[in-house]
Amino acid sequence: MPSASKTHADSRFDRLVYERVRLGMMSALAVRDELTFSELKTLFDVSDGNLSAHARKLEDAGYVTCTKSFDGRRPKSVYRLTAAGRAALNRYLDHVEAVIKATRTA
Amino acid sequence: MRSPSAVALDAHAAATLRYIRASMDAAGTVAVSGSAGVAMGVIGLLAATLASTGSLRPHWLAVWLFAAALACSVGGVLMARQASLQGFTLFGAPVRKFILCLAPGLFAGAAMTFVHWQENNLHAIPATWLLLYGCALISTSAPTTRMVGILGSLFALLGLITFCLPESLQTVALGAGFGGLHLVFGVMIRRKSRVS
């Protein structure tokens, strides 16, 4: 039987990674060292506010880091996937694969 | 018999995996192989040397066409090897983008070669090759790296200069481009990938 803390971690993970834009952001960052805010916005075709909110949630969870700088006079935010974020994505992939295996053998 | 809910769950999980894969493909870039650049550079230098030697000089076009086919094959194999080493799929979206960016320039180069050859306008071929290959590389900098764009710009610039060169120096320009530039950038990309 899973411990209470593990169950809590899993449910927190589900809420964070399950959402489509956040899952896409983490998947994209898994294959690129870094992506800027505007690159992510183009990739997922979302508004600034929407992307900011999702990015903040991933940052707060420690799944991505954000480095802010200036490119000339324009502010630039660069996102990177952390080790915890990569582990969470792998865990999510394991869950999805397990679901597929379980339903195919059912 | 599988229940409808199990089928729906399976389909949803499969769709999620497809979405993850699509996100990775859309964000992914093609791993440019420094070894491919070095190998293509060596082939270019050999072609320039052969095409300048006395007996083969009249057949310079055949020498360069053979070298181009060889360099494409070797470069393609080394790029595929690099992609598999880095865990990228060989026929994923980034590779498709790379081919779509590269192909129009190469096709235009092949068509212009045929036109120049038919019109007996052979002296315009080296500059055309350098210019169009440069343009093709500039296009491929989108799914690869900025360094490929810089390499393409240098090829295009060399192509423009070659249009003004006398015929005797055009093989030298081909050697400088397809040999020298490939070799130098191949070494730079190898060094950069080792450091990172």
Give the gap in angstroms from C-alpha B185 to the nearest C-alpha of chain A. Answer: 22
Give the gap in angstroms from C-alpha A8 to the nearest C-alpha of chain B. Answer: 22
Judged against a pLDDT cut of 80, whether residue B194 lies above it is answered with no
Closest CA to B17 of A32, A73, A95, A88: A95
What is the pairing mode between strands A64-71 and A74-81?
A: antiparallel
More confident residue, A38 or B156: B156
More confident residue, A48 or B5: A48
Judged against a pLDDT cut of 60, whether residue B86 lies above it is answered with no
B14 touches chain A (CB under 8 A): yes
Cβ under 8 Å to A: B residues 15-44: 16-17, 19-21, 23-24, 26-29
Which residue type, as a one-letter code, is found at position B22? A
Contact A32 B20 (CB under 8 A): no
- Domains of chain A, start order: 4-105 (1.10.10.10)
Q: Identify the pLDDT of residue A5.
A: 47
Q: Identify the pLDDT of residue A14.
A: 60
Q: Identify the pLDDT of residue A52.
A: 94
B6 touches chain A (CB under 8 A): yes
Closest CA to A59 of A44, A76, A80, A38: A80
Closest CA to B79 of B101, B98, B106, B55: B98
Residue boundaries of the structural domains of chain B: 4-195
Mean pLDDT of chain B: 84
| Chain A residue with Cα closest to B7 | A103
- Closest CB to B13: pick one of A20, A32, A96: A96
Q: Identify the pLDDT of residue A4.
A: 46
Q: Identify the pLDDT of residue B32.
A: 75
Ramachandran region, residue A72 (left: φ > 0; alpha: ψ -120 to 50; beta: rest): left
Q: What is the mean pLDDT of residues B38-50?
A: 93
Q: Which residues contact A51 (CB under 8 A, 6 or more apart)?
A: A21, A37, A40, A41, A44
Tokens of A97: 């694969």
ipTM: 0.80
- Closest CB to A31: pick one of B6, B13, B27: B27
Q: Which residues contact B193 (CB under 8 A, 6 or more apart)?
A: B34
User: Which residues on B lie below 8 Å from A20 (Cβ)?
Assistant: 19
pLDDT tens for each residue of A6-62: 445 555 556 788 888 999 999 989 888 788 898 888 888 889 999 999 999 999 999
- Closest CB to B26: pick one of A20, A43, A99: A43
Q: What is the mean pLDDT of residues B115-139?
A: 93
Q: Identify the pLDDT of residue B85.
A: 57
Q: How far is CA B81 from CA B85, B89, B143, B179, in A?
A: 6, 11, 18, 22
Q: Identify the pLDDT of residue B24.
A: 81
Q: Are B124 and B163 in contact (CB under 8 A)?
A: yes
More confident residue, B77 or A79: A79
Give the DSSP letter of residue A32.
S
Q: Identify the pLDDT of residue A39.
A: 84
